[in-house]
Homo-oligomer: A and B are copies of this chain.
Amino acid sequence: MKKIDILKKLRSSGLRPTKQRVEIAKFLFEREKTFHFTVESLNKLLTKKSASKIALATIYNTVHAFKTAGHLSEVEVRGNKTYFDTNVSNHHHFYDSDTSELIDIDANDVIIQKIPKAPNGKKIKNVEVFINLKN
């Protein structure tokens, strides 16, 4: 994704393209493959890569703003930190608890033959599959 698209992406979701947001967005979205991260890891990587340091609170604010805008999704993994995902399409994950690493699985690579019907009065929003790995 190019910088012009980054600006479009921000503006179209009502987010003023500030220096900090553009820098974070470029870091997150100008890449080929899905990126999974925690706020802590993102902060470290940004600090390493970039000259100007962005306040931690801003990283929290920005990541949440991007999530609310639908540009990031949140992935549930065991542990105390919240994981985010640049892949916002419906998909599944391998999870390697040794390395705390997530790997995407395309929705088409998992076929579920049978699931129970939702409880009374509830509907199924989506189905998430986690394949936990070991060595």
What is the total number of copies of this protein in its complex?
2
A110-B112, A112-B111 as given contacts; A121 in contact with B105, CB under 8 Å:
no
Residues of chain B within 8 A (CB-CB) of A77 are: 76
- Interface residue A52 (Cβ < 8 Å from any Cβ of B): no
In the bound complex, what is the Cα–Cα distance between A105 and B76 (angstroms)? Answer: 19
- Interface residue A4 (Cβ < 8 Å from any Cβ of B): no
- Interface residue A48 (Cβ < 8 Å from any Cβ of B): no
Main secondary structure of the interface of A (DSSP, over half): strand
Q: A76-B76, A111-B114, A122-B133 are in contact. List 15 more A-B contacts (CB 8 A).
A: A76-B130, A80-B80, A94-B116, A94-B118, A105-B115, A105-B116, A109-B116, A112-B129, A118-B131, A119-B133, A123-B135, A124-B131, A124-B134, A127-B132, A128-B129
